[in-house]
Structure 1
């Protein structure tokens, strides 16, 4: 507890990089964590508040800055950085993420360092792990920053499991409902957890 108090006195913010493909549920997750229904305010690396409409227009043109700081007024202790576009697997995007992680790791100020990486993986998809996901956990690693894999949209996976039980195994509605969560858990383990555990830089336990 003393250590926690000491670190808290040195660092007023918890800085997190959130990684995930488009529509992975990242914004929903952040709003839940920060207990907010509003979108975050956006700040430049120097702390200047930015116009969200300008940032949105830049994003729509394919311009995105991982250095932007996303802060919710409901919970300003968290500072988030978003790695939009990482799922594309392009070398430029991957290098941007690597460079950002390295830059934060080299900072001598605890408040400027990266404290965690949240890697969001939507489970309601036919493409569980993309090449970019495997590259990150396999080839690039993350150094000393803990990586937490967060499986989103599990309700969609449950719906898929229910459909399989009904269509492929011809179960009745009641029996399929009783087994859908168990089947979804099996698919989660087979398609996501086991492949991630087999990578060189597996997520933190």
Structure 2
């Protein structure tokens, strides 16, 4: 049977080819993908997050670890879907209308996937209406809204208002983030969660789905 520890190490070190190879071999041997995900992949990304918060890892390490995780996830995702395995939660993520920045948002999306969430990434320049429509269609528990410009931050408030107008604000948690965004702003606009970094976003999302 394949030794699965190298999967953990490969994700931790951002070694995508090894992560994919070990995952494929394990699947070929009939190992339950849930075991791979819950015992090796998610713990590896949790450790990546811990190292980031301890200032031992920085954004480049986070990015390559997320890429390795994504490569392994792509192999097991079809099998997980086929078995009806439930994700930790479902998140709709996007950068607000008028804002074309996506590096931070992509990083948060990758970390959330690494944390066991199903992520629906709407990309950049996302209108409040599109957030609302996707939440309704996908029955998401969380909307994660990003903005990198002070001029586009009001789009976060508009998105929350659109969720209220659609009558679904009480059914979905809203978390926000981005360079100019603060906890104070999150409180002001009535967001449920805020994080100023990608690994923190996973923790916030877990708290929100557990609430």
How does the TM-score come out when normalised to structure 2? 0.37
Higher RCO structure, 1 or 2 (CA under 8 Å, sep 6+): 1
Larger radius of gyration: 1
Name the structure with the higher helix share: 2
Scaled by the length of structure 1, the TM-score of the pair is 0.38
Q: Which one has a larger percent strand, Structure 1 or Structure 2?
A: 1
